[in-house]
Structure 1
């Protein structure tokens, strides 16, 4: 969200307030793909605006002071030095911020995800460019076509349900294509709107959620936080981030986010290869899980089936519009009339068959999606457990470990784990040892001090470790105890006593073989053994 049009729109306004009537004192680069613009504001205070080129993690930030290195720093664009800043403004139709100077020169910052650049311009002619300078020098940037700005277009859609329904009709009622056509909405904002919509597909619901999201974008709550992997996040939406920290303005938030990102990236680059690979795989799984929504597929299939039946029931009606037909919903008479998009080249019966085919195809996907989701959830739980067993390291420790492991770090990540992983809830996972040696490894290498440790009392069985739960999670502990009872030699008994305690109260005993432990401060539950779902 740090690079979308709305963040940059607000940032440009704050830059204008900060830099207008100030002085551009110089331009330089001291790191690869970083351009630094040095300013004195109108009060004479030094400021630096740093632009990151071709960096998917951050775009720009401003900080107080001048921080130029004495060595390995290249001065650029001398012609612009000591020029007065007249204005800072963003393009009404794109992610381009232009700093206009009193001399007639200007600096344009193109803040695209994979093709960012900065230009020194005279009118629209490129005098110099930060990247691809040789090719771009002397070229003329196309004049911007006169059209409504992104903000004006969105305001118009927000103010008029009819205009919004017309946009929906232009995309044959396809929700995703309609959302993708919203000006200024990048993929993250598109996903945000679709997530808020859930299974509510009427145009009125989509329009209502769009209006709410647009209001948040135009009245930002600036915050930084951390995602599930601990990586920094930036948002201007009203829903709080994990570990959310509020900021007074966009520039302050971008600075905090950028600095945190640079630190995180620097540490991540030095992580042990195995841990880094596991985290990357977990990130991909979570991303795929977000896209798997069998309920939405089922709802869409049902909607298509109803559309087919309504068309069959209306074959006698005259078709007045080639692209759609509005019918009374005989399955839900209290609902407003339903407008069904049509394919021009097909008659009503053929359109009905087309909707039945779409419905059948959607229903056929559901079982596969459920299986895929279950498989990914199990794999994610195993990866989370494996990562939880790895201690966080400082960069120096990571370098030392990388040296000591050598080629061993290149082993496949699908190494055998000493436990089975069961998802109890979205945040709670149960780990189950597979044999005596694995029990020992699970308890003393993978379990953390405040994890819940469980074992069937008075009989041999698996060590079980409940991660993500506290002693207050009685339902999760009860369920885990039932599974622990199943993974013991008492699995066929009617009721089995299962002890549980915090792992920090479990210790190795003298001269005890692997898998046998001394347990203190335990509590006992009487449970019926329960086999976990496959």
Structure 2
């Protein structure tokens, strides 16, 4: 919605109010497919208007200040520098915003998704173009035909049910074709209107929904939010977005959306190498865990100790072979005779002492192995949680993490986690808040909209977030609910009611302290509190 005609219509009006009678101080490019126009408003405020070319996720935004880099920045269209801005207007029939300068030059911004471009014009002749300049220089843009504007055509249809029914008849009553023929309605607006219509297909119902939607487009509620995958969204419609933030005007909303999109896109581009690093580390940990077997070490230590005792008990026997000796196992008479390897240079007593030393070293390793296994299990759980929630973090947090050195687990030892993690299955992890502030951080920073959110009902306790699961994973939700019940003040009750819902149905309440939330569309499970997985 950031690039549709109605958003750009309002943006052009705000640009005119801001830039008219101001000065275009320069045009430059310092990033691929980005054109920056620098202005001084008539009040003397420095401003930058950035245009994104061939970027399907953002179009343009304005911000205060001049931010040109000293290096790797190319000046463009110097002939237009220090020219006064007369007006900013959008084409009445297309997504073209024209900045008219006092000298007679103008800059046209064509905002056609991946085919966007910018032109320096003298009347309708292209002096220069940001993209495909060699081909387009000197060409003459066709004059705009005199016709009703998009807004006028839509207002006429909104005011007259008869005209709207005529449009419907022109398309043989086909609703989708009629909606596609509405001027200025891109595919997203077409889908929005069809969704609102649902199964009510009479012309009067379609006309009513069209009038309502047009009213919203002409009286925008500017907001940004995030979709279910965490990607930024922009809207001027009145229905709220997920994680909606309201903005005073179109330019402010576009700036917030564009910056969030650039950060999100930058994180997404750099995340695969990071994910690969964490995944590789997790594989190494799991491989090492497979080699840690304290029981086998204990059994080997016991075997060496028995060998030592058998050798001591057999000092009186003659040694017939230098490399081994076969003895009756006095500790297990029913077992077959045991052959004990010997070191040639040592006598039987010295070999016995050697076995006792090996047994002692083995027993000494067991405690270290248990500690090592516990440490690796904790690190593996943290890595699993980090991988499961990687897309949940803010881009700035991701960039900060990439600047750090060492493994993810090393960072976790330096920075306290706001949650503990429990592995429910190979793909599902439960995150558990540690206190009220951590609950708030877990729910509103680490959890994604479609994660499962759990909490003991009617009592205080930890916020719990189940990652990697959907509402269909009933067994995993049941296990998570039992653990959530344990991490509440009702942990010693026989049965505890636990609510669960998608995180997108959990929101902050006005004037509520950290950790307290408003929950909607919840379901309830009666569970027996469980500290560990059964």
Q: TM-score range by the shorter chain?
A: 0.5 to 0.7
Match of 1:215, SS state, is helix
Tell me the TM-score normalised to structure 1 length.
0.58
Q: Secondary structure at the match of 1:420?
A: strand
Instruction: Give, in angstroms, the shift of residue 373 of structure 1.
Output: 43
Q: Is contact 2:393-2:446 (8 Å) kept?
A: no
Change (3 A) 1:463 1:35: closer
Q: Provide the C-alpha distance between the structure 2 equivalents of 1:170 and 1:347, rounded to a whole number of angstroms.
A: 108
Distance verdict in 2 for CA 1:309–1:342, change over 3 Å: same
Larger Rg: 2
Give the Å deviation of 1:252. Answer: 0.8
Q: Corresponding residue for 1:392?
A: 392
Secondary structure of 1:271's counterpart equals helix
Give the alignment's Cα RMSD to 1 decimal: 26.1
* Residues 293/10 of structure 1: CA separation in 2 closer, same or farther (3 Å cut): farther
Contact 2:392–2:447 (CA<8 Å) still a contact in 1? no
CA distance in 2, matches of 1:260, 1:25: 27
Find the aligned partners of 2:55 and 2:228 in 1 and give their Cα distance.
21
Counterparts in 2 of 1:86 and 1:394: CA distance versus 1, 3 Å = closer
CA spacing shift, 1:172–1:382, aligned 2, 3 Å = farther
> Do 2:193 and 2:209's aligned partners in 1 also have CA atoms closer than 8 Å?
yes
Of residues 246-255 and 442-451 in structure 1, the stretch that sits farther from structure 2 once superposed is 442-451
Unpaired stretches in structure 1, ≥5 consecutive residues: none
Give the C-alpha shift of residue 195 in structure 1: 0.7
Alpha-carbon shift at residue 232 of structure 1 (Å): 1.0
Q: Describe the shift of the 1:341–1:284 C-alpha distance in structure 2 as closer, same or farther (beyond 3 A).
A: same
Q: CA deviation at 1:271?
A: 1.0
Is the 2:228–2:448 Cα contact (8 Å) retained in structure 1? no
Which range moves more in the overlay, 481-490 or 365-374?
365-374
Shift of 1:397: 9.8
The structure 1 segments of at least 4 consecutive aligned residues displaced by more than 3 Å after TM superposition are 273-534
Residues 428 and 468 of structure 1 are in contact (CA less than 8 Å); yes or no, is this contact kept in structure 2? Answer: yes
User: Aligned in 2, Cα 1:253/1:357: closer, same or farther, shift over 3 Å?
Assistant: farther
How far apart are the structure 2 equivalents of 1:343 and 1:221?
87
Aligned match of 2:211: 211
Helix, strand or coil for the counterpart of 2:270?
coil
The 1:402/1:166 distance shift into structure 2, 3 A limit, reads same
- Answer whether contact 1:451 1:468 (CA < 8 A) is retained: yes
Question: By how many angstroms is 1:227 displaced?
Answer: 1.0
Change (3 A) 1:411 1:531: closer
- For the Cα contact (< 8 Å) 1:386–1:446, is it kept in 2? no
Q: Any gaps of 5 or more consecutive residues in structure 2?
A: none
Displacement of 1:254 in angstroms is 0.7
Q: CA deviation at 1:322?
A: 113
- Give the Cα separation in 2 of the matches to 1:312 and 1:211: 100
* TM-superposed deviation, 1:98: 0.4
Shift of 1:177: 0.8
Task: Classify the secondary structure of the residue corresponding to 2:121.
Answer: strand
Q: Distance in 2 between matches of 1:164 and 1:329?
A: 101
TM-superposed CA distance for 1:44, in Å, is 1.5
* 1:68-94 superposed Cα distances (whole Å, 9 cap, x missing partner): 111111111111111111111000000
In the superposition, relative to structure 1, how do residues 339 and 84 fare at CA in structure 2: closer, same or farther (>3 Å)?
farther
Most deviating of 386-395 and 510-519: 510-519
Residues 11-43 of structure 1, C-alpha deviations (whole Å, 9 max, x = no match): 000111111111111111111111111111111
- CA distance, structure 1, for counterparts of residue 17 and residue 322 of structure 2: 53
Kept in 2: contact 1:402–1:409 (CA 8 A) = no
Count of aligned pairs: 534
1:260 to partner: Cα distance: 1.0
Q: 1:96 to 1:471 in 2, by over 3 A?
A: closer
Counterparts in 2 of 1:102 and 1:385: CA distance versus 1, 3 Å: same
CA apart distance, 1:272: 2.3
Cα deviation, residue 258, structure 1: 0.8
Taking structure 1 as reference, are residues 155 and 56 closer, same or farther at Cα in structure 2, changes over 3 Å only?
A: same
Moved more, 105-114 or 518-527: 518-527
